[in-house]
Structures are given as structure tokens and as C-alpha cells.
Amino acid sequence: MLQDTWHKIEVNVGFGELSPLIEWVKDNCTNNWNYEILSTGGRDDGVYKFYFKEERDAVAFMLWKK
């Protein structure tokens, strides 16, 4: 799997927060990112793992999510 060498960040996402989060990533990171659903508690809330090829994108994401 290509993403084995990527930076991985696990986040809890509340209901209604997934779309704005993905829009932020699209606007502020390179195209080298992806995510997977680890568990869901409802419609879009749950635990997600985001993958970033570029370290600067991973760091920006972590700082923004704080």
C-alpha cells in the first residue's frame, strides 16, 4: 500500500463536521492526501484516519485541528 509511508493522523469527527474538514484539506493541502473511516457513530460522525504524503500538510492539519 502506497500510504504506508505517508503521515497518518487519526481524528474524531462530530456530526456535520466531516464536509467542512474535507473542504479545509482541499483548500489548504496538496492533492496528495486521503482518508479512511475507522468507525462511525452515525451519519458522518466517528473516527477517521487522514493520510498526507507531505509532512507540511500533516503539520498544518494537526495545528488546524487543535
pTM: 0.86
Higher-pLDDT residue of 65, 2? 65
Residue 62, pLDDT above cutoff 70: yes
The cell for 9 is 493522523
Residue 4's SS3 state is helix
DSSP 58: H
- Summarize pLDDT for 32-57 with one digit per residue, the tens: 999 999 998 877 789 999 999 999 99
